[in-house]
Amino acid sequence: MAEVRAEMVANVWKVVVAEGDHVDDGDTLVILESMKMEIPVLAEGAGVVTKMHVAEGDVIQEGDLIASIG
Amino acid sequence: MLDSVLVANRGEIARRVIRTARRTGVKAVAVYSDADADLPYVREADQAVHIGPSPNPQPARSYLDAAAIIDAARQTGVAAVHPGYGFLAENADFARQVIAAGLTWVGPDPGAIEQMGDKIRARNLMERAGVPVSPGSREPVCDVAAAVAEADRIGYPVMVKAAAGGGGIGMGVAAEEAGLRSAFETARSRAERFFGSPEILIERFVERARHVEVQILGLADGRVLALGERDCSVQRRHQKVAEETPSPGVSAGLRERMLAAAVRAGQAVAYRGAGTVECLVDTDAGTFVFLEMNTRLQVEHPVTELVTGVDLVEQQFLIAAGEPPSFDPAALRPSGHALELRIYAEDPVRFLPRPGTITEWAEPAGDGVRVDAGYQAGNTVTPFYDPLLAKLCVHGADRKQALDRARDAVAAFRIAGPKTNLPFHADLLASPEFSTGDYDTSLVSKLRPA
């Protein structure tokens, strides 16, 4: 089980994958927006998205859980 | 002179405008969102109006909300609106609404904003006014096939950008067709999202270029003055990080030609107020081309103020009131050398945003040092706005003294909490390229290879 966490305070602009989706290493999971910059958050390994912890429009803090990949 | 002004902006530029307003006896009104309630500019204004409702401090609900800003102006009875830069500063409709509400717009005529806001129209207009432009589109490029044909006509490498854009958002360089296809898609999606228009401009990309701009001032009597140039070649993601004047890459002859072209550019749109004509300079060839015109006060205006002694915000107020400038244009003699370093809340290696709460903030001081800051200790830097924390500006008798003062000032500037790019500035000032002045827009990627 891999946990993907936020590297910085940001706004969740787009949620690209849904629970149950299969993802490969390097796939974009969500796109964050911080300080007028779009920052894609990528999967760091293949697996199935077991849980999405964020929704579009959420403001997340550094270290917050974004997705669980099993 | 105006008796009062509402500053439709936030952070360091709101504070900067308020400072001149207070010095010249103009009542200053600030507006603020929830996220900015504790920032210094809100406290330093004579009055402050909350315009961003809870719970969402995103710009569309505050600093981009034209109706809320005009309501705040009415409610406080101010005579004028100063837009700062960004947000609504280059929005012709907002300028018209301000004027229609019976207020003075501290900026150029809305028609001039519109003519220059569309980069394709602006290029065509400049070409007719005798200002050099690079080979590029004369009409918007609407789809990938048209982009490929246009790039073949212009010749690679090309720059792809939003016709209505700014701030480097969505801009991309392509050296061949595959790269062009991807750059076009990126530019178009960003153009629609950030600027509300899918129109794309393609122009020849100038390699090994310097980004040099000219400060102009359109006076109330119709004259257009050029107040010297600024070199803005130190950029990351097509956004400026450091600026200086005079440009180490511009000879006296080239400077004369650029300043004359900038005056023609201003005259072509009957420009009033402070504006900036941005150009790309090919230093090997000693030539330049028009890039775009910014119809507002520029972020890096302090370097021009430091070498000329002219307060540009004061001139904006005077021109908006129909009065002559506070200085004698014939006696203007820039002196010394000035630098501006943009202090961003970002990591100093990959330049990714790093907002956070500021636990320590100690600004450098000393001869020739000026800090235009938007924050102080205890403030929280949020992800909702751009990452500019402060502008560290220095003035010296010559470039060497300015660089020495900048190195000392960077070392003395202490910010804890959010990560900042101060370590990058230390590296920049230590680099042989920047120290000698022999650099171009590729400098940052050389200092920070991916």
**pLDDT, tens digit only, all 450 positions of chain B:** 899 999 999 999 999 999 999 999 999 999 999 999 999 999 999 999 999 876 566 777 899 999 999 999 999 999 999 999 999 999 999 999 999 999 999 999 999 999 999 999 999 999 999 999 999 999 999 999 999 999 999 999 999 999 988 777 889 999 999 999 999 999 998 888 888 888 999 999 988 899 999 999 999 999 999 999 999 999 998 899 999 999 999 999 999 999 999 999 999 999 999 999 999 999 888 999 999 999 999 999 999 999 999 999 999 999 999 999 999 999 999 999 999 999 999 999 999 999 999 999 999 999 999 999 999 999 999 998 999 999 999 999 999 999 999 999 999 999 999 999 999 999 999 999 999 999 999 999 999 997
| Residue B317, domain CATH | 3.30.470.20
Name the helix (H) or strand (E) containing B27: strand B27-33
Does the residue A31 lie in any domain? yes
ipTM of this complex: 0.82
Indicate the DSSP class of residue B322. T
Residue B448's Cα: distance from chain center in Å?
A: 23
B96 is catalytic: no
Chain A interface mutation, best of B354, B379, B380, B388, highest count of A Cβ atoms under 10 Å: B354
Place of tokens 């065509």: B124
What are the CA-CA distances from residue B22 to residues A7, B44, B47 (Å)? Answer: 41, 9, 12
Are residues B71 and B22 part of one domain? yes
**Chain A residues in contact with B166 (beta carbon < 8 A):** none
What is the model's pLDDT at position B166?
77
Are residues B77 and B217 part of one domain? no
Greatest distance between any 2 Cα atoms in chain B: 58
**Chain A residues in contact with B383 (beta carbon < 8 A):** 8-11, 33-35, 59
Does the residue A66 lie in any domain? no
What is the model's pLDDT at position B330?
95
Q: Is B119 strand, coil or helix?
A: helix
Q: Which residues form the domain of A28?
A: 2-55
Q: Does B218 touch chain A (CB under 8 A)?
A: no
Interchain contact, A8 vs B352, CB within 8 Å: yes
Tell me how many degrees the CA angle B118-B123-B127 measures, rounded to the nearest 5. Answer: 150
Are residues B253 and B172 part of one domain? no
**Chain A residues in contact with B355 (beta carbon < 8 A):** 8-9, 34-35
Are residues B200 and B217 part of one domain? no
What are the CA-CA distances from residue B235 to residues B72, B112, B239, B380 (Å)? Answer: 36, 27, 5, 26
Q: Does B436 touch chain A (CB under 8 A)?
A: no
Are residues B261 and B140 part of one domain? no
| Residue B55, domain CATH | 3.40.50.20
- Smallest CA–CA distance, residue A5 to chain B, in Å, is 15
Can you give the pTM of this predicted structure? 0.94
- Smallest CA–CA distance, residue A37 to chain B, in Å, is 8
Are residues B374 and B254 part of one domain? yes
Place of tokens 């023609």: B264
pLDDT digits (tens, 9 = 90+) for A9-65: 899 999 999 999 999 999 999 999 998 888 999 999 999 999 999 999 898 998 999
What is the model's pLDDT at position B55?
58
What is the model's pLDDT at position B1?
83
What is the model's pLDDT at position B195?
82
Are residues B258 and B342 part of one domain? yes
B346-360 burial, b for 16+ CB within 10 Å, e for fewer? bbbeebebbbbebee
Are residues B409 and B364 part of one domain? yes
Judged on CB neighbours under 10 Å (0-12, 13-18, 19+), A25 is exposed
Does the residue A15 lie in any domain? yes
Are residues B50 and B156 part of one domain? no
What are phi and psi for residue B109, nearest 5 degrees? -55, 140
Are residues B438 and B295 part of one domain? yes
Does the residue A27 lie in any domain? yes
Are residues B60 and B181 part of one domain? no
Does the residue A60 lie in any domain? no
- How many CB atoms neighbour CB B341 within 10 A? 26
**Chain A residues in contact with B59 (beta carbon < 8 A):** none
| Residue B179, domain CATH | 3.30.1490.20
Number of separate domains in chain B: 3
| Residue A22, domain CATH | 2.40.50.100
Place of tokens 């700062």: B84
Indicate the DSSP class of residue B130. T
Does the residue B24 lie in any domain? yes
Number of separate domains in chain A: 1
H runs (alpha helix) in B89-219 = 92-100, 110-117, 119-128, 144-154, 177-195
Q: Which residues form the domain of B369?
A: 209-447
Place of tokens 């072209």: B261
- Residue in A closest to B384 by C-alpha: A35
Are residues B418 and B281 part of one domain? yes
